[in-house]
Amino acid sequence: MTDTINSRLEKLGIALPAPAAPAANYLPFVVSGDLLFTSGQLPFENGKLAATGRLGREVEIAAGQGAARHCAINVLAQAKAALGDLERIARLVKITVFVASDPDFTAHHLVANGASDLFAEVLGEVGRHARAAVGVARLPLDAAVEVEAVFEIAKG
């Protein structure tokens, strides 16, 4: 089997879900030139949020990392909807990871690793990216984590 994004997903036992529809007046993704921007994705797994609440209060770091991983899977589902084929990804440019957290929580970067590690596993070298991990008071639906991404699209 060739080493492709789809084969890596299969090896990891990941089936991309149907991409989430927007919950308000925005688009789930926008393509501008050779860049794909995804809207923030919540950690939905089988139609339910994988983690709710705040890190450092109701949610442990490991659960936050798992939630970030689910967000990354949902980002990839949006990318596939936008591009038709994930092999069109030339590079993951940047992700922003929003972490709902207690004011004293300082391990946002560890939570964000759940998304970064998934992208590296699935996308390989083109999945190495710039990143921001940002603490916020609350996220929609009381989600613990939200992830958005910017991809460069391969020409041709």
Domains in the chain with CATH codes:
5-12+28-153 (3.30.1330.40)
44-78 confidence digits (pLDDT tens) = 999 999 999 999 999 999 999 999 999 999 999 99
Amino acid occupying residue 52: T
H-type helices in 4-156, by residue range? 5-11, 61-83, 108-123
78-125 confidence digits (pLDDT tens) = 999 999 999 999 999 999 999 999 999 999 999 999 999 999 999 999
Q: Per the confidence metrics, is the pTM higher than 0.75? A: yes
SS3 41: strand
**CA atoms lying within 13 Å on the CB side of residue 46:** 1
